[in-house]
Every structure is written in structure tokens, then in C-alpha cells.
Chain A
Amino acid sequence: MTGVQFLFYAFAAMMVFCALMVITVRNPVRSALFLVLTFVSCSAIWLLMEAEFLAITLVLVYVGAVMVLFLFVVMMLDININRLKEGFVKYLPVGIGVAGLFGGMLTWLLYNVEAADLKTKMRTMYPPSAKPADYSNTEELGEVLYTVYVYPFEIAAVILLVAIVAAIALTFRRRTTTKYQNPDQQVSVKRDDRLRVVKMDSEEKK
């Protein structure tokens, strides 16, 4: 086993373990933290695959921004865990039944029916050749993103715009009773509006 292989299996095992913990731990905060760990190990695997840009983005965007916000929300909401767990036992047999049936069918299909065909298929896919050290995959991504994938890229941008519009439309409520500052008036205020100098004669102490 080479060093890279060892690292791959180590991170892969950690990722699977953490992903399992995300859905099994009781405390939602812990669950969110395990999700962070899943992302970190996933980004390590991507680094091993020489996808540096994706790995860094995953850490920056998902771990750094999305999950932190998510933790905030989880901490602020008072989630009643016992209520979430209601009906778990009731639905468990159905869930296990469906999952078992599905898993069994998949295994049967992939291993019995066409195992030979699948193996030849796998063999024809060669691993890509390693790139030199000065190869920038950020630059490559940028180049195809704005040329080959410019149309899907623009649609993705529109989806984000719609997400913003939808989020504001669903949460923004204009309250008529709220008091707010008007920066325009604050800035254009003059000395005379606030301060009045009153001239009067000094008085003697009695």
C-alpha cells in the first residue's frame, strides 16, 4: 500500500464514519459538527485526486460559511429532539423493509446479472495521467466555465438570484410600528437644527 492509498483509505473511512454519525447522533449541534468533519475529509480526498480548487472551495464555502450559519440556526432554534424521535419505532420496520429490498435488488443486479460486463467496462476506463506541479486547475476551470459551460453557468446564476428574491419575499415583513433612522436626514442636519445659542447677560452671584 502506497502512502497515497493509505491516506485515501484513512480519509474515506473517516468520511463514512462521520456521515453515519451525522444522521445517528442525538444532538443536532454535534450532528452539524460531524458534517463539518465529513466535508473536511471529503476535501482531503479531493486534494489527493489533484482537484485543489474544489477542495479549497469546499472548505472555504461549506465549512467556513454555510456550516457556521447552519450552526447558528441550530443553536438559535430550540429543537425538541424527543418530538423528532416520535414515530421512529413505528416506521422502522417499513424503512428497513424498503431499504433491504432496494439494497438487495441493487446488489443482485450489479453482481449477478452483468458482473462480467461491468468489469470490462471498468477496465476500459483508465485513470487520467498526473499533471505537472505547476499545472493550475483553477485556471483550467475558469477557462471552461466561461466558455464551454457559459450557458449552464448563467442559468446557475439566475437560480441564485431567484433564491434571493424568494427568500426575501417569504421572510421580509414591513412593520409600520418599527422606528428607524433616516441616514439622509441625519447627514444633512445642520448645526442650527440642533443647537441654539442663547445670548444672555451674566448674572451675579447673590
Chain B
Amino acid sequence: MEFIAAYLPSAMMNDQTISQLPLALPEIVMLCMASIVLIVDLFLNDKTRGGTYILSQFTLLALVVITVMSFTQQKSIAFHGTFVRDGMGDLLKIFVYIVTFTVFLYSKSYLKARDMFKGEYYVLGLFAVLGMMVMISAQSFLTIYLGLELLSLCMYALVALQRDSIIASESAMKYFVLGAIASGMLLYGMSMIYGATGSLELATINAEVMKNTDNIVLIFGLVFVLVGVAFKLGAVPFHMWLPDVYQGSPTAVAIFIGSAPKIAAFAMTMRLLVDGLHGLHVQWQDMLIIMAVASLAIGNIVAIAQTNIKRMLAYSTISHVGFIMLGIMTAEKGGYTASMFYTIVYTLMALGAFGMIMYMSRMGFESDKLDDFRGLNQRSPWFAFIMLIFMFSMAGVPPFVGFWAKLSILKAVVAVDMTWLAVTAVVFSIIGAFYYLRIIKLMYFDTPQETSAIEGASDLRVMLSLNGIAILGLGLYPELIMGLVISVM
């Protein structure tokens, strides 16, 4: 040992890195398994490609087990202040795995029908999950940025995976260029804050910010950081990429972009604004109010004019992001809890809505028009009912879980004496209810354009039903998730 120690650099001698490695066990397992999937896939041909799928799903399930087993409420910072393990991170990660598992399950038959059932989809998907995990566990600007880039890079590639489709290539280009601009903005803001505080670590930055909350350089940096975050969340006025990307990318990729990364984006916002820049909350509250109200307005009103359901869901995402921002805007624990609850619930609802599109699509037919949902009740009453659950829940109708999510946000907003803001949110939600209810009207009161039975793989049917029942069940017992969220915040 002494022989080895003599050759180690001095910094390594006192280093805690090795003893801290178990904290990052989920990340390490994820990286190893993603690499294994990449290699195993080389030896599989199109007939045995199912192996890649099973291995990926096994990885996600194993990670759920690992994270649940090592679940910890205690906040521990590791790797020289670049990594944090806490209850919020663990809970969000568990939901990321579950959501990704469902995404992979829903998209299997869709990919097979379009000659896209390739190993790359799963490899890039797993690496994207790794990026989300890094973002969720980030404790310094450096890791937030690297995690974000890892996630985005996988997403750009996934959107472009359907190479022969012009519309997919176009949306991949838009996504890439706008994403690069957003990353640039974020980096610029980070460099300003680094210049003013002299640190990249969120805890140190917060301590420095507390000393001088009026520093103009800090506020200047905050604006750019917030622009970057708003881009990634898809908040107005930085929302223009969302409808194009949702519409242009294959549904199997759109469901992925529309679900799990929202959880990671929420975590990134919390880490940046609450862990790092809480001292500036008077400033970012105002900015969040403007963006939240604009998102609620544009999202809900423009969605009415859409005829493509993927595009409509994109605008619906924008309006939900407005709600999530309202919760964070309160700068209170109650608001953060409500936002986290809303984010998790939203991803579950988005999964279901996109899952329905994939359930109804078949070879050569995308089923992404509103008209394709006409008379669904006559073709498949059970799944028309499931879609009804998703739509009612998104609109915020009790007893579905979407109602509790909206209610908790509104409560938090009223608790900080901003009743006018809560009233605005309610008014726009009522406007938004129109386009959710329109789908229900199309399904139940219109005659179908075609009467053929819907095929749909059996595993997709089971999972989609479970997803719908979960939305209903969680609506009846919202404390199941709410209790978890409160316990970790």
C-alpha cells in the first residue's frame, strides 16, 4: 500500500471520492447497463432484437429496486460538491425509471410497425435517463449543464432516428438549433453568476448571494439562467420548439420527450432557483409570474385551434408548465411540494394520452388527428373510457388526480396572498377544458370514420388500462403520492 501511496498525487491521498462512490450507485449501474445493452445489441439480429428491449426494461426495473432499497432522506453531498443525494432526488429518479419503463413498453409495437425497432432507440433512451439522473442529482453548475447536454443530445438523435421522414428531420433540426441556443443562454447566465460569486457549487453560490442580493451582475446572470430553464421546460415565450417537435417526431419519441424529461427539468429548476439562487427569489418570482401567466394563456387558447392531437398536447404541456411554474413562484415549501406533485401527475397523464395515440396507430397510419378519435366509443368502449379519464384529469375535473394537482398549486398560490394569480389560473383552465372535452365529445357523440377493430398489442392494452386506473385511483387517494412528496421535501 505504501508503495502505491507514494505514487499517488497528493490530492488523491486525502480524497473521499472512493468512499463516496456507493452514493452514486444508481448512476453507476445505469452507465454500466447502458454500455452492456450497446454491446449486446451488436450481436443480435432483427429477429432476436427483443433481447435489447428486455435487457433495457430489466435495467429500469433493477434501478427502481436499487433506488428504493437505498432510499435516503438524508442530504449528502459528494464528489467535491458536484453531486447530491437526497430524498427529493431519489423520489424523482424512481418516477423517471417508471415513466421510461412505460414509454418503452408503449412504443414497442409502434417501433416494430415502422422498422424503427433498433437497438439505438433503447441505448439512447437509457443514456437520456442517465442524463436526467445526473441533472436530478446535480449540485454544481457544471453537473447541471453536463446532465442537460447528455439528455438533450440523446433527444436530438432520437427525434432524427426516422431518417427518411422529412418532417422528423425538420423537427430534429429545429430542436437541435433552439436547444443549442438555450444551452448557450444557460451557460452565459452561469458564467455571469460564477463571475459574481466565484463558485460553481450551488451551496456556496447561495451563501454568496445572501450577502449581496442587489448585485446587478447576479440578476443579469439570473435572467439568462431563467431563459435557459424556460426553454427546456417549454414556457412561453420560449415555447416555439415544442409543438413542432411533438408533431414532427415519431410518437414513440414524442411520448418520451413529453414525459420523463419534464421531471428532470423540474429538478433542474429547483436546484438552480431554490438551492442556488434562493437569495434572489424576489427577482425570479416576478419573472416566473410573467412566464407562468403567458404560458397559461397561450397554451390554453392556442390549443383550441389545433387539429393535430400531438400538437394539441404540446400546447397543453405549455399550459401545464405554467401551473408548475406557479408553484415554484411561491418560493415556499408548500409551493415546491405542489409543483413536484403536479409534475409527477402531469407525466403520468401525458404518458396515457400519447399511449392512446400509439394504441390506435398501426402500420402506415399515425392516428394523430383529432378526427381519428371520432366515435372511438363504438369501436372500443373500454379505451374510450380510459381516454376520457386522461382528458378529464388533464382538464382538472374531480375525482381524477389532475384535479388535486391543480388544487394544491392554487392553494399554495393563495397561501402567499396572490389570489389574483390563482383566479387567472382558474380562468385559463376553464378555457382549456374546452379542448379536452372536445375529444370526449368526438369519442362519444360522433360517428366513426372507420369501423375496423383496433389491433393494439396485449401488453400495451394492459399497461394503458393500468395507467388509466392509476389516474382514477390516485384521484381517489391523492395522499398516496402527495404523502411521499411531502415526506421528501
| A contact set with B: CB distance below 8 Å | 109-110, 113-114, 117-118, 121, 143-144, 146-152, 154-156, 158-159, 161-163, 165-166, 169-170
Contact with A along B134-165 (1 / 0, CB 8 A): 10000010110011011001101100110100
A159/B79 in contact, CB under 8 A:
no
B215/A166 in contact, CB under 8 A:
no
Chain A residues with Cβ below 8 Å from B196 are 121
A117/B215 in contact, CB under 8 A:
yes
B216/A109 in contact, CB under 8 A:
yes
Interchain residue pairs A-B with the least CB separation, the first 8: A166-B157, A169-B120, A151-B79, A114-B216, A155-B146, A147-B11, A143-B9, A148-B80
Task: Determine which of A113, A143, A148, A155 lies in contact with B147 in the assembled complex, contact meaning CB atoms within 8 Å.
Answer: A155
CA distance A9 to B11 in the complex (A): 37
B163/A170 in contact, CB under 8 A:
yes
A155/B216 in contact, CB under 8 A:
no
Residue of B nearest to A109 (CB): B216
B124/A169 in contact, CB under 8 A:
yes
Minimum CB–CB distance for B374 against chain A, Å = 37
Known contacts A152-B82, A155-B147, then 11 further A-B pairs from the complex at CB < 8 Å, ordered by chain A residue:
A110-B216, A113-B216, A114-B215, A146-B12, A147-B9, A148-B80, A150-B79, A162-B150, A166-B157, A169-B161, A170-B157
Chain B residues with Cβ below 8 Å from A166 are 120, 124, 153-154, 156-157
Q: A170 and B11 in contact (CB under 8 A), knowing A117-B216, A149-B80, A155-B134? A: no
B157/A147 in contact, CB under 8 A:
no
Chain A residues with Cβ below 8 Å from B82 are 149, 151-152
Is the C-beta of B31 less than 8 angstroms from some C-beta in chain A? Answer: yes
Residue from the set A109, A114, A154, A169 with the largest chain B CB neighbour count within 10 Å: A169
B154/A162 in contact, CB under 8 A:
yes
CA distance A118 to B220 in the complex (A): 13
B83/A151 in contact, CB under 8 A:
yes
Chain B residues with Cβ below 8 Å from A121 are 196, 215, 217
Q: A159 and B149 in contact (CB under 8 A), knowing A149-B80, A165-B120, A169-B118? A: yes
CA distance A155 to B118 in the complex (A): 25
Chain B residues with Cβ below 8 Å from A162 are 124, 127, 150, 153-154, 157
Residue from the set A143, A146, A162 with the largest chain B CB neighbour count within 10 Å: A162
Count residues of B near A (Cβ-Cβ below 8 Å): 40
Q: A155 and B11 in contact (CB under 8 A), knowing A118-B217, A165-B123, A170-B160? A: no
Residue of A nearest to B10 (CB): A143
Is the C-beta of B130 less than 8 angstroms from some C-beta in chain A? Answer: yes
CA distance A72 to B216 in the complex (A): 45
CA distance A13 to B438 in the complex (A): 62
Chain A residues with Cβ below 8 Å from B120 are 165-166, 169
Minimum CB–CB distance for A155 against chain B, Å = 4
CA distance A159 to B124 in the complex (A): 11
Residue of A nearest to B143 (CB): A152
Chain B residues with Cβ below 8 Å from A154 are 31
Task: Determine which of A118, A147, A149 lies in contact with B12 in the assembled complex, contact meaning CB atoms within 8 Å.
Answer: A147
Chain A residues with Cβ below 8 Å from B12 are 143, 146-147
Chain B residues with Cβ below 8 Å from A147 are 9, 11-12, 15, 17, 80
Is the C-beta of B488 less than 8 angstroms from some C-beta in chain A? Answer: no
Minimum CB–CB distance for A92 against chain B, Å = 20
Chain A residues with Cβ below 8 Å from B38 are 165
CA distance A4 to B9 in the complex (A): 33
Residue of B nearest to A155 (CB): B146
Chain A residues with Cβ below 8 Å from B140 are 152
Task: Determine which of A143, A152, A170 lies in contact with B142 in the assembled complex, contact meaning CB atoms within 8 Å.
Answer: A152
CA distance A161 to B79 in the complex (A): 22
Minimum CB–CB distance for A5 against chain B, Å = 23
Q: List 15 A-B contacts (CB under 8 A).
A: A109-B220, A114-B215, A117-B216, A144-B11, A149-B82, A150-B17, A155-B146, A159-B146, A161-B127, A162-B150, A162-B154, A166-B124, A169-B124, A169-B161, A170-B160
Minimum CB–CB distance for A103 against chain B, Å = 14
Task: Determine which of A118, A149, A150 lies in contact with B216 in the assembled complex, contact meaning CB atoms within 8 Å.
Answer: A118
Residue from the set A117, A121, A150, A159 with the largest chain B CB neighbour count within 10 Å: A159
CA distance A166 to B160 in the complex (A): 9
CA distance A147 to B142 in the complex (A): 15
CA distance A118 to B15 in the complex (A): 37
CA distance A150 to B134 in the complex (A): 14
Minimum CB–CB distance for B135 against chain A, Å = 10
Minimum CB–CB distance for A97 against chain B, Å = 17
Chain A residues with Cβ below 8 Å from B160 are 170
Tell me the chain B residues, 100-152 only, with Cβ under 8 Å from chain A: 118, 120, 123-124, 127, 130, 134, 140, 142-143, 146-147, 149-150
Residue of B nearest to A143 (CB): B9
Minimum CB–CB distance for B369 against chain A, Å = 28
Chain A residues with Cβ below 8 Å from B35 are 161
CA distance A117 to B215 in the complex (A): 8
CA distance A109 to B143 in the complex (A): 30
CA distance A117 to B161 in the complex (A): 51
CA distance A151 to B79 in the complex (A): 7
CA distance A158 to B79 in the complex (A): 17
Chain A residues with Cβ below 8 Å from B157 are 162, 165-166, 169-170
Residue of B nearest to A144 (CB): B11
Task: Determine which of A110, A156, A163 lies in contact with B146 in the assembled complex, contact meaning CB atoms within 8 Å.
Answer: A156
CA distance A113 to B216 in the complex (A): 8
CA distance A164 to B74 in the complex (A): 37
Chain A residues with Cβ below 8 Å from B156 are 166
Minimum CB–CB distance for A12 against chain B, Å = 19
CA distance A146 to B143 in the complex (A): 15
Residue of A nearest to B149 (CB): A159
A155/B79 in contact, CB under 8 A:
no
B150/A155 in contact, CB under 8 A:
yes
Chain B residues with Cβ below 8 Å from A110 are 216
